[in-house]
């Protein structure tokens, strides 16, 4: 745990030294999410099925159906760069409609209770998946590799408790990743 805190502190220090501030990037990302709410098709569903992930059959590999064009392009670039170094990325979950997001939230409430659901799933009104700006990446080696790109592809991990969840914003590629939140409901 101490190593992770030290690594986060070093990343924050490096970002500030490079002229960026992760907290400021988080504010800009929030503005991007707000802007997307007015243009995204909130009722368009994502793939929600997908083929089996070739390196780990417990996961699926959805098509990037419904992702915002820039998010889909960043995902395709991530796939290409990961493959070039022998890493497989699977899109476990991408775009969700409001109905899909609500069903996911309701399922978590039923399985784990309200408190846990609020730490892992956002309501449709707050979810970057509904906006087509989020991807859940599997397997472990895949999301670890993507996190190491430090936003250079426009994709950043946004929650401490969800190592698989990445959100897209063009500013990440130039300004680095935002300060992560503890969990989606934080």
Alpha helices, DSSP H, located in the chain = 2-17, 22-37, 69-84, 98-112, 114-120, 140-148, 170-175
Residue 83 CA to residue 166 CA, distance in Å, equals 18
Structure tokens at 140: 């472990």
The whole-model pTM stands at 0.89
Structure tokens at 92: 């476990």
DSSP state of 181: B
Q: How confident is the model at residue 147 (pLDDT cuts 50, 70, 90)?
A: very high
pLDDT tens for each residue of 90-130: 999 999 999 999 999 999 999 999 999 999 999 999 999 99
> 7, exposed or middle or buried, with CB in 10 Å at 0-12, 13-18, 19+?
exposed
Residue 99 CA to residue 97 CA, distance in Å, equals 5
Residue 19, pLDDT score: 52
Q: Enumerate domains of the chain plus CATH numbers.
A: 20-175 (3.30.1380.10)
pLDDT tens for each residue of 150-169: 999 999 999 999 999 999 99
């Amino acid at each position: 745990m101490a190593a992770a805190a030290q690594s986060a502190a070093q990343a924050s220090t490096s970002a500030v030294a490079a002229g960026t501030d992760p907290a400021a990037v988080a504010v800009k990302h929030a503005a991007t999410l707000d802007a997307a709410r007015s243009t995204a098709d909130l009722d368009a569903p994502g793939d929600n099925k997908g083929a089996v992930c070739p390196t780990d059959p417990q996961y699926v590999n959805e098509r990037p159906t419904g992702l915002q064009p820039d998010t889909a392009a960043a995902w395709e670039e991530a796939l290409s760069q990961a493959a070039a170094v022998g890493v497989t990325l699977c899109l476990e979950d991408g775009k969700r409609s409001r109905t899909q997001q609500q069903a996911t939230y309701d399922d978590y409430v039923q399985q784990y209770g309200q408190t846990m659901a609020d730490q892992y799933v956002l309501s449709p009104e707050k979810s970057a998946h509904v906006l087509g700006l989020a991807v859940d990446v599997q397997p472990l080696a895949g999301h670890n590799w993507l996190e190491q790109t430090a936003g250079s592809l426009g994709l950043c991990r946004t929650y401490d408790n969800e190592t698989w969840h990445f959100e897209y914003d063009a500013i990440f590629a130039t300004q680095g990743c935002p300060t992560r939140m503890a969990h989606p409901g934080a």
